[in-house]
A and B are shown apart, each in its own frame.
Chain A
Amino acid sequence: MRTDSAIVRKGLRILGMAIRTRPRPFAVSIVGACLYGGMTVAASVVIGRVTDRVIVPAFSTGAVGRGTLALAAAAILGVAVFKAVGIVLRRVGASIMQYQLHAEFRRRVTRRYLRLPLSWHSAHPTGELLSNANADVEAAFAPIAPLPMSAGVALMLLITGVLLVTTDPFLALIGFAVGPAIGLVNWRYNRRVQGPTTRAQQLRAEVSGIAHESFDGALVVKTLGRERQETDRFRASSEALRDQLVRLGRLRAVFDPLLEALPQLGVLAVLLVGTWRVAAGQLTQGGLVQFAYLFLQLAFPIRIIGYLLAELPRSVVGWERVERVLSATGEAAYPDPAPGGHAAATGPAHAALDDVTFRYTLDHGELHEVLRSVAFAAEPGRILALVGATGAGKSTIASLLVRLADPDEGAVRLDGRDVRTLPRGAVAREAAIVFQHTFLFDDTVRANVTLGAPFDEEDIWAALDLAQARGFVEALPAGLDTVIGERGTSLSGGQRQRLALARALVRRPRLLILDDATSSVDTAVESAILDGLRRAALPSTIVVVAYRRATIALADEIVFLAGGQVRARGRHAELLESHPAYARLVTAYDEEPAGAEAAELAS
């Protein structure tokens, strides 16, 4: 646990950094805040002067000069105009500063995401990464909003203190008692609500989590008749949230009226003491009115300082999370592109794994070896299938081939060159991978296929044809320009996979990797796709990860993996004959559900 003062220091350092990077909007907001602070005091001084110079004389003498009256009105209005300008400068300046920092750090964080290796990505839950770029960035710079106002209030308090001391020591005593009392109560309040507020936020997330899960599983809930139990579960969580919110409400019920009563009592004290001082000839009526007025004006702004202090711990936590992303390392290194570039190779690629060993670190720090000394080559223009049980390392090989990760030992070679010696973007130009889990951008079909590369209509349709996607794309409301994804038309799993396939095919990759890429496609459609791939004059070497026998049978060569090692290589028919483990694996899927036989096979 760090001490409060350490957190405050760290929080102020973050603010310091923010000020140094955005000095101009900060200066604007500080000027505005000081104008606001000064004018708030000035307004009370004007009211005091108007009392002494205009109101009291007018009422006692029964006469007033027109000029005096006009001057009083002008003074009141003039002060207000400056105060209004101050408010605008303060708010706009502070917000611009804050929003610029939000924008800058959102981009810096996402840029890191785009650079950091996929192993780093998979070690962090999606929700956490999203909140690093959003909620945490916002939390880090949350104190910027109350910062200038706090400075303005500090100035306001300083001027008030000086005025009080120079006007009357007894009034000063009231001021020095009430001001800090408000500050203290407010600070206590902010501290007391912090815990329950955080807890309420957690409970809110819990309520939402249960609702999400329960509605997601609505079919199970319904078919098992679990509605009552689910409702009980939800109720327990909802009532815990309710209790926390009621607790917060009660805290507010204690502190809010106190914060409201303190300045009011302060004003009453000013009236009492002031009258006595006026009677003693030490204070004018105007002086009394001025301070009574000022105390009421200060009551609210003074709370902002407590608010600023309350924001600091949140800011520190947010900033530390953002910093963790910004300082994360491990991105793949790319050599500088060769001067003049190297000649683009044509025709199918030669892809090989050269004694590749790959490990990753498990949650508890243990190393897990996914691949051990794996070596094989996919010959140009051939179709190679990776076959193996779950966890055999097939998908790892797929991602190594397109350099989504680098091996711990050995090398991945494309046309004989270690992929680590190729400049950034080179592998993506030569090779395309289609994943089992399809990802589509919230964009048009066209953009999802081209990803911004300049393909013409004909190329796109050719790719869609090959991916058996023409039919449904043509039926979409705006064809190629239909927006799909979150805010657009939703597609079925099979349709999504076919678009992902088209995305790869349109690039005419020299190496095409299909990582169980047709799992959601109907068997009939899948065989049409495979037929198409077999017949098409694609200049590709294809590496395919597959379970279905039809997909496997497409291959010219099979690499059979088990436990991260190559167990056998050869043609499907050969392996079926010569390798019982292989035969078991690929036939199991199509076996009759005859219990005894299947059980025997699996043992």
Chain B
Amino acid sequence: MSAARTAADPTPGPSPRGAWQTLVRGLRLSPELRRGLGLTLLLALVATSGRIVVPIAVQRTIDGGLLAEGGPDVAFVVRAVLAAAGVVVLASLAGGLMNARLASATETALSGLRVRTFRHVHDLSMLHQADEQRGSLVSRVTADVDTISQFMQWGGVVLLVNVGQLLLATVAMAVYSWQLTLVVVGTFLPLVLLLRWFQSRLSRAYDVVRVQVGRTLSAIAESVVGAPVIRAYGAEGRTDERVGEAVDRQYDASVHAVRIAAAMFSSGELFAAAATAGAVVVGVLLGLGGQLSAGRLIAFLFLVTLFVGPVQIATEVLDQAQTAIAGWRRILGVLDMPTDVADPALAGSDAVDIPPGPIAVRFEAVEFRYPGATAAALESVDVAIAAQRRVAVVGETGSGKTTFAKLLTRLMDPSAGRVLANGVPLDRVRFASLRRRIVMVPQDGFLFDTTVAENVRHGRPGIAEDEIALAFTELGLADWVEQLPHGLATRVGERGESLSVGERQLVALARAYVANPDLLVLDEATSAVDPATEVRLQRALEGLTRGRTAIAIAHRLSTAEAADEILVFDQGELVQRGSHVELVHAEGPYAGLHRSWARGRSPRAPAA
């Protein structure tokens, strides 16, 4: 199933622009779309001539052939028909060429746009990559690009050809008889208004359908994803009712929409007939006055049929165009989001590398404020961490310890103050150096849907298989790899879900190990893992942190206890610092945290 387009767009972006501005900006970003557009438009016009030539041939045949002085003139008709056939063939060739050109230009352009947007999303800072925005960011590079593609390949072609057709048909009509042209155009004008009215009702109806489809999908998804809960709580009846209600509403909305659509499409027939009847009546009267030939009048009857289609299709296509432009606007909105945490190497000038050797970290009067937040997430943090120390950062949820880690790895930049690694401010360090020397192991140990070896290879591209095996051995995990069904070649499944939470962390640790960073930032997982894996994890961590500066966002007492030093955060401030032994006996939040940990840990002898 494709990603459903979200109705509300939570992605913050610059102020919305108009359709025209979007188009101009979009075309500027994708030069492939503009290149050769003139020729494509010309080809579209030629392609339409095939449709116009038929009514003209009808007129020539009737006036010059059938009703020729002295009986039907077959030779004249042969000439006229052959000429017309030549035009039809030419128009076909032009049509084919136009289609092919449009397809390759748009798809090349859109693929470029897709890739560019994808890269831009990765370049955005963590602030814009929050969990709840991820789904909509995926839509930017999938569904939104698809709507533009669909529009370009279908609606766009149709629109081009139909506009050409309308133009040429009007010209042909005007040449034959301006009076009849007025009759036909006059009849179609109200249709345009009526269709627009229908179209706005129809798009509202389709909006309702879309919402209802979403509800049905989520109701059905609940019955699948929530199966254990539904079964255990005997909620089958209630769930069935919820699905039924959603399904019924979707049905009602769909039927409502189809009624409007049917009325809309049939109205075209009535107007076409009115125009035809009007042309016959007025044409015959004009003909009596000698102002029109029979062939021209009959040609009009054919030309009228060329009018209905475009008028009807245009309203539909314009609606499609609005959807496509809205998609385009959203994509541009993402591209316009500034990459606030950018690689200084791209800006040129004074990008530096972190001086070699184990990394010492210093925070100087660092403050961080999330956009729009009144309170600072982190305030006046001044701290120096010596190289090769093992530091645990502790604090309650919301104390600022995660923000501290993000600033340390330059996932975000401080609002004030600076973060230095070996004396160099992080925002001056080129990413090539930064990302190689400072590595963070995130909480969930995210894995890609490939093998264990490939996942580790993300840490150091190109590393050989036996080096990966060696890494696991050095981390004391050889036995774990051995018991995997296919060893290092075992696939980990989507998001690594074939492995347990703890096993995923093992792979994430190996990945960090081969990256061989000088500063390691660990965001410890909160969820419990099975004890045997826990032992392995501790062993691997020991191997991983040895000889490096290691800063762990600790959720476990054991990590804090084992650290050389503990930083305690509370409400955005660094409130305590010292070893476990010092802190546990000092007045302050750490002693409190320790007590609640200890309660959970030693049930036999509650901590005094």
Contact = CB atoms under 8 A, between A and B. Distances in A.
Given A87-B269, A223-B409, A234 B100 contact: no
Interface stretch (A16-24, A161-169, A251-259, A302-310): A251-259
Interface string B236-273: 10111001100110110011001101110111011011
A207 B114 contact: yes
Interface in A251-308: 252-254, 256-258, 260-261, 264-265, 267-269, 271-272, 274-276, 278-279, 285, 288-289, 292-293, 296-297
A274 B511 CA distance: 80
Interface stretch (A175-183, A339-347, A426-434): A426-434
A58 B281 CA distance: 11
Contacts of B428: none
A92 B258 contact: yes
B267 to A, nearest CB: 7
Contact of B243 (A107, A433, A573): A107
A487 to B, nearest CB: 8
Interface residues of A, number: 171
Interface in B382-438: 397, 409, 411, 431-432, 434-436
B442 interface: yes
B236 A114 contact: yes
Contact of A257 (B93, B138, B229, B272): B93
A478 interface: no
Contacts of B411: 219, 222-223
Given A95-B258, A223-B440, A249-B100, A279 B72 contact: yes
Contact of A593 (B107, B449, B542): B542
B575 interface: no
A491 interface: no
B432 to A, nearest CB: 7
A125 B493 CA distance: 12
Contacts of B108: 242, 246
Given A297-B305, A439-B228, A593-B559, A225 B435 contact: yes
Interface stretch (B17-25, B176-184, B191-199, B527-535): B527-535
Contacts of B123: 227
A239 interface: yes
Interface residues of B, number: 175
Interface in A395-429: 399, 402, 404, 424-425, 427-429
A444 B132 CA distance: 19
- In this complex, which of B129, B146, B247, B442 has the most chain A Cβ atoms within 10 angstroms of its Cβ? B247
Contact of B226 (A208, A268, A402, A439): A439
Contacts of B85: 265, 268
Contacts of B599: 527, 550
Nearest to A133: B220
B541 interface: yes
B168 to A, nearest CB: 14
Interface stretch (B294-302, B320-328, B351-359, B363-371): B294-302
B122 interface: yes
B227 A121 contact: yes
A62 interface: yes
Given A92-B259, A130-B217, A549-B602, A296 B236 contact: no
Interface string A472-496: 0000000000000011001000000
A80 B284 contact: no
Contact of A121 (B224, B285, B293, B294): B224
A451 B238 contact: yes
A455 to B, nearest CB: 13
A276 B298 contact: no
Nearest to A448: B229
Given A220-B446, A265-B85, A585-B531, A253 B227 contact: no
B579 to A, nearest CB: 15
Nearest to B261: A91
B387 to A, nearest CB: 20
Given A88-B262, A442-B218, A549-B600, A204 B142 contact: yes
Given A215-B137, A234-B118, A261 B89 contact: yes
Interface string A386-399: 00011000000001
Contacts of A102: 251
B603 A404 contact: no
A311 B278 CA distance: 41
A590 to B, nearest CB: 5
B103 A246 contact: yes
B230 A62 contact: no
Interface stretch (A1-9, A46-54, A186-194, A351-359): A46-54
B164 interface: no
Interface stretch (B50-58, B200-208, B464-472, B582-590): B50-58
A56 B441 CA distance: 88
B288 interface: yes
Interface string A549-583: 11011100000000000000000110000000000
B280 A296 contact: no
- In this complex, which of B102, B435, B439 has the most chain A Cβ atoms within 10 angstroms of its Cβ? B435
A595 B111 contact: no
A592 B115 contact: no
B608 interface: no
B92 interface: yes
A126 B224 contact: yes
A142 interface: no
A442 B226 CA distance: 11
Contact of A62 (B115, B250, B288): B288
Interface stretch (B60-68, B373-381, B566-574): B60-68
A521 B209 CA distance: 40
A211 B449 contact: no
Interface in B464-497: 476, 494-495
Nearest to B438: A223
- In this complex, which of A220, A390, A433, A573 has the most chain B Cβ atoms within 10 angstroms of its Cβ? A220
Contact of B138 (A50, A215, A390): A215
B107 A245 contact: yes
Contacts of A296: 54, 302, 305
Contact of B77 (A264, A271, A289): A271
B220 A553 contact: no
Contacts of A500: 229
Contacts of B3: 208, 212
A335 to B, nearest CB: 16
B139 to A, nearest CB: 9
Contacts of A592: 558, 561-562
Interface in B281-295: 281, 283-285, 287-288, 293-294
A520 interface: yes
Contact of B442 (A220, A288, A428, A520): A220
A269 to B, nearest CB: 8
A104 to B, nearest CB: 9
Given A245-B153, A246-B107, A110 B442 contact: no
Q: Report, nearest first, the 3 A-B pairs whose CB atoms are least far apart.
A: A249-B103, A225-B435, A553-B603
Given A106-B247, A118-B227, 4 more contacts: A95-B262, A261-B89, A285-B67, A404-B231
23 contacts: A55-B287, A76-B280, A110-B240, A110-B243, A113-B223, A211-B138, A215-B134, A215-B138, A216-B134, A249-B100, A253-B95, A253-B103, A257-B92, A264-B53, A265-B88, A267-B57, A390-B500, A451-B238, A523-B600, A527-B599, A553-B603, A589-B531, A601-B535
